[in-house]
Amino acid sequence: MNGELSLEPTARDLAASGLRPAELERVRQLLGRMPNRIELAMFGVMWSEHCAYKHSRALLRTLPSESPHVLAGPGGNAGVVEVAPGIAAALKVESHNHPSAVDPFHGAATGVGGIIRDVLAMGARPIALLDALRFGPPHEPRARRLRDGVIAGIAFYGNAIGVPTVGGEIDHAPCWTDNPLVNVACLGVAPVEALASAAAREPGSVVLYAGARTGRDGIGGAAFASEELDEHSAERDRSAVQIGDPFAGKLLIEATLQALATGGVRALQDMGAAGLTCATAEMSAAGGTGMEIDLDRVPRREADMSPLELVLSESQERMLLVVAPERADAIAAIYRRWGLVAAPIGTVIAEPVLRMRAGGRLVVELPPACLANGPVYALAPQEPAARRARRAMEVDGGARFASVRGARAIGAGGAGLIASAEAASGAPDEALQALRRAWLALLAHPTVASKRWVYRQYDHMVQLRTVLAPGAAGAAVLRLLEAPPRGLALAIDGNARYAWLDPWAGGALAVCEAALNVACTGARPLALTDGLNLGNPERPEGAWELAGVIEGIGAACRALGIPVVGGNVSLYNESSGAPIWPTPICCVLGVLDDVGRALPSAVREPGDAVVLLGSPQASLGGALFLEAVAGEPLPAGQPLRPDFALHARLLALLAEAAAAGELRSAHDLAEGGLGVALAEAALLGERGLACALPPPAQHEPLEVALFGEGPSRVLASVPPACYDALSARCAAHAVPLVRLGEVTAEPRLRLRTPAGELECDLAALRAAWQSEERTR
Amino acid sequence: MIAVRVIAFLKPGVLDAQGQAVQQGLEALGYAVERVRVGRAFELVLPEQDWEENVRRMCERYLTNPLIEEYRYERLGPAAPPAKGQDDP
Amino acid sequence: MSGRPAPAGAAGRQPHRARAASRAAGGERTTPRSAVRLGPRLSSLSLERLLRAGPRPEPAPLPPARAETGALTFGIVVFPGSNCDRDCEYVLREVTGVQTRMIWHRDPELGALDAVVLPGGFSYGDYLRAGAIAAVSPVLGAIRRFAEGGGLVLGICNGFQVLCEAGLLPGALIHNRDARFHCAWTYLRVERTDTPFTCAFAPGEVVRMPVAHGEGNYFAEPATLAELERERRVLWRYVDARGEPSPQANPNGSLHHIAGICNAAGNVAGLMPHPERASESLLGGTDGRRLFASMVRWLLERRRG
Give the C-side interface with A, CB within 8 Å.
80-81, 83-84, 86-87, 90-91, 120-122, 124-127, 178, 180-184, 210, 212, 214, 274, 276-277, 280, 282-284
Report chain B residues whose CB lies below 8 A from the CB of A302.
86
Beta carbon pairs, A and B, within 8 Å: 19
- What's the 3-state SS for A455-508? HCCCCCCCCCCEEECECCECCEEEECCCCCCCEEEEEEECCHHHHHHCHHHHHH
Q: Establish if C37 belongs to a structural domain.
A: no
Answer whether B86 touches A (CB < 8 Å): yes
Task: Please enumerate residues of A whose Cβ is less than 8 A from a Cβ of C.
Answer: 155, 159-162, 245-248, 250-251, 338-339, 455-464, 466-467, 469, 479, 481, 595-596, 776
* Lowest model confidence (mean pLDDT) among A264-268, A475-479, C38-42, C55-59: C38-42
| Chain A contact for B89 (CB, 8 A cutoff) | yes
Query: What percent of chain A has a predicted confidence (pLDDT) above 90?
Result: 84
C165-184 pLDDT, tens per residue?
A: 999 999 999 999 999 999 99
| DSSP symbols for A620-680 | -TT-HHHHHTS--SS--S-PPPP-HHHHHHHHHHHHHHHHTT--SEEEE--TTHHHHHHHH
Residue C24 has pLDDT above 50, yes or no: no
Q: Is the pLDDT of residue C240 over 60?
A: yes
Secondary structure of residue A55 in the 3-state scheme: coil
pLDDT of C41 above 50: no
* Band (A428; pLDDT cuts 50, 70, 90): low
How far is it, in rounded angstroms, from Cα B42 to Cα B63? 8
pLDDT band, very low/low/confident/very high, at A755 (cuts 50, 70, 90): confident
Contact A153, A187 (CB under 8 A): no
Q: What is d(CA A42, CA A728) in angstroms, rounded to the nearest whole number?
A: 62
Catalytic residue among A55, A96, A460, A647: A96
Paired sense of beta strands A524-533 and A487-493, if any: unpaired
In a domain, C143, yes or no: yes
A754-757: long-range pairs with CB below 8 Å, 24+: A754/A693, A754/A695, A754/A696, A754/A702, A755/A429, A755/A431, A755/A432, A755/A435, A755/A702, A756/A427, A756/A429, A756/A431, A756/A432, A757/A427, A757/A432
* Mean of the per-residue pLDDT values of chain A: 92
Other C-beta atoms within 10 Å of B71: how many?
19
Closest by CA to A537, choosing from A546, A548, A529, is A546
Of A162, A458, A596, the CB nearest to C282: A596
Active site residue A232: no
In the CATH scheme, what is the code of domain A68-194+474-599? Answer: 3.30.1330.10
Asked if the Cβ–Cβ distance from B17 to C179 is below 8 Å, we say yes
Rounded to a whole number of angstroms, the distance from the CA of A332 to the nearest CA of chain B is: 11
Contact with chain A for residue B87, Cβ under 8 A: no
Identity of residue A37: R
**3-class state of residue A601 by DSSP:** coil
At residue B38, the pLDDT reads: 94
- Which pLDDT score is estimated for A51? 93
The minimum CA-CA distance between C186 and chain A, rounded to whole Å, is 12
Q: Is the pLDDT assigned to residue A13 strictly greater than 50?
A: yes
Could you read off the pLDDT of C57-104 as tens digits, one per residue? 444 454 555 678 999 999 999 999 999 999 999 999 999 999 999 999
**CB contacts, 8 Å: B83 with chain A:** 303
Q: Which of A141, A302, A343 sits opposite B88 (nearest CB)?
A: A343
What tens digit of pLDDT does each residue of A164-176 get? 999 999 999 999 9
- Specify if C29 maps to a domain: no
Residue C75 lies in a domain: yes
Helix (H) / strand (E) containing C290: helix C289-304
φ/ψ region of A474 (left if φ > 0, alpha if ψ in -120 to 50, else beta) reads alpha
- pLDDT bin (cut points 50, 70, 90) of residue C35 is very low
CB < 8 Å from C in window 46-85 of B: 62-63, 65, 67-68
Binding partners of B (≥3 Cβ pairs within 8 A): A, C
Picking from B83, B88, B89, the nearest residue to A303 by CB comes out as B83
Q: Which chains touch A (3 or more CB pairs under 8 A)?
A: B, C
Q: Give the pLDDT confidence score for residue A90 in this predicted structure.
A: 98
Sign of CA dihedral C19, C20, C21, C24: positive
Residue A498 has pLDDT above 60, yes or no: yes
Give the pLDDT score at A694. Answer: 83
> Closest chain A residue to B26 measured between Cα atoms?
A145
pLDDT(C10) > 50: no
Q: How confident is the model at residue A772 (pLDDT cuts 50, 70, 90)?
A: confident
A139 catalytic? Reply is: no
> What number of other Cβ atoms are within 10 A of residue A300's Cβ?
20
The one-letter amino acid code at C75 reads G
Kindly report whether the peptide bond that precedes residue A701 is cis, defined as omega within 30 degrees of 0.
Answer: no
Residues of B in contact with A141 (CB under 8 A): 28
Pick the residue from chain A with its C-alpha nearest to C212.
A459
Those residues of chain A whose CB sits closer than 8 Å to some CB in chain B are 141, 213, 296-297, 299-303, 336, 341-343, 345
List the CATH number of the domain containing C109.
3.40.50.880
pLDDT of residue A737: 97
DSSP A343-371: EEEEEEESSS-EEEEETTEEEEEE-HHHH
Contact (CB, 8 A) for A311 and A213: no
| Domain encompassing residue C278 | 66-170+262-304
- Give the pLDDT confidence of A218-253 residue by residue, as tens digits: 775 555 555 556 555 654 454 567 889 999 999 999
- Asked whether the beta carbons of A751 and A696 are under 8 A apart, the reply is no
How confident is the model at residue A6, as a pLDDT?
Answer: 78
User: What's the rounded mean pLDDT across residues A306-319?
Assistant: 94
* Rounded average pLDDT over A521-549: 97
Closest residue in C to B63 (Cα) is C128
Query: Using a CB-CB distance cutoff of 8 angstroms, which residues of chain C are in contact with residue A458?
Result: 181, 183
pLDDT in tens, B27-43: 878 899 999 999 999 99
Confidence at residue A533, expressed as pLDDT on a 0 to 100 scale: 98
**What value does the CA radius of gyration of chain C take, rounded to a whole number of Å?**
18
CATH for A13-47+196-374 is 3.90.650.10
Domains A68-194+474-599 and A385-449+603-775 are alike in CATH topology = no
pLDDT at B85: 46
Q: What is the pLDDT of residue C166?
A: 97
Nearest by Cα to A765 from A676, A690, A703, A668: A676
Q: What is the mean pLDDT of chain C?
A: 84
| Res. A16 pLDDT band, cuts 50 70 90 | confident
Q: Mutating which of C102, C182, C183 best tests the A interface, going by the most A Cβ atoms within 10 A?
A: C183
Are C81 and A595 inside 8 Å of each other by CB? no
Tens of pLDDT, residues A43-63: 999 999 999 999 999 999 999
Catalytic residue among C213, C256, C257, C274: C274
Q: Once rounded to an integer, what is the mean pLDDT over residues C138-163?
A: 97
Residue A343 has pLDDT above 90, yes or no: yes
Measured CA to CA, the distance from residue A363 to residue A375 in angstroms comes to 24
Whether A649 and A734 have beta carbons less than 8 Å apart is answered as yes
- Judged by CB atoms closer than 8 Å, whether chains meet at A299 and B86 is answered as yes
B10 to chain C, any CB pair closer than 8 A? The answer is: yes
Asked whether the beta carbons of residue A462 and residue C81 sit closer than 8 angstroms, the reply is no
In whole angstroms, give the CA distance from residue C272 to residue A526. 38
Question: For chain C, what percent of residues have pLDDT higher than 90?
Answer: 76
- The catalytically annotated residue of A50, A98, A460, A647 is A50
Can you name the CATH fold of A385-449+603-775? Phosphoribosyl-aminoimidazole Synthetase; Chain A, domain 2 (3.90.650)
CA–CA dist A161, C125 (Å, integer): 9
- pLDDT tens-digit map of A247-286: 999 999 999 999 999 999 999 999 998 999 999 999 999 9
Residue C305: predicted pLDDT: 75
Domains of chain B and CATH, by start: 2-78 (3.30.1280.10)
Q: Report the pLDDT value the prediction gives residue A242, as an integer from 0 to 100.
A: 84
Confidence of residue A138 (pLDDT cuts 50, 70, 90): very high
Contacts of A481 in chain C (CB under 8 A): 90
Q: What is the dihedral of CA A13, A15, A20, A26, to 10 degrees?
A: 20
- Please report the pLDDT score of residue A302 as a whole number: 83
Whether C283 sits inside 8 A of A464 (CB atoms) is yes
Planar angle of CA B34, B35, B39, nearest 5 degrees: 160
Q: By CA distance, what is B24's nearest residue in A?
A: A776
Average pLDDT of span C100-122: 97
The one-letter code for the residue type at A453 is W
At A112, phi and psi to the nearest 5? -65, -45
Question: Mean of the pLDDT values across residues A665-679?
Answer: 97
Q: C175: nearest CA in chain B?
A: B17
Q: How confident is the model at residue A696 (pLDDT cuts 50, 70, 90)?
A: low
C217 assigned to some structural domain:
no
Closest by Cβ to A462, choosing from C87, C127, C180: C87
Q: Is B41 on the interface with A (CB under 8 A)?
A: no
Among partner residues C136, C174, C176, which is closest to B14 by beta-carbon distance? C174
Q: Which residues pair with A265 in a beta bridge?
A: A323
Q: Tell me the percentage of chain C whose pLDDT exceeds 70.
A: 78
Using CA coordinates, name the residue in chain A closest to B28. Answer: A141
Residue B28: the pLDDT is 78
Cα A10 → chain centroid: 40
Say yes or no for a CB contact (<8 Å) between C175 and B62. no
Catalytic residue list contains C84: no
Q: Could you tell me if residue C222 is inside a domain?
A: no
Res C36: pLDDT: 32
C84: Cα within 13 Å, side-chain hemisphere: 30
Residues, chain C, total?
A: 305
Higher pLDDT: C37 or A304? It is A304
State how far the Cα of C117 lies from the Cα of A81, in Å rounded to an integer: 36
Number of domains into which chain C is organized: 1
Asked if pLDDT for residue B86 goes beyond 70, the answer is no
Contacts with C48 (C-beta within 8 Å, 6 or more apart), sequence order: C8
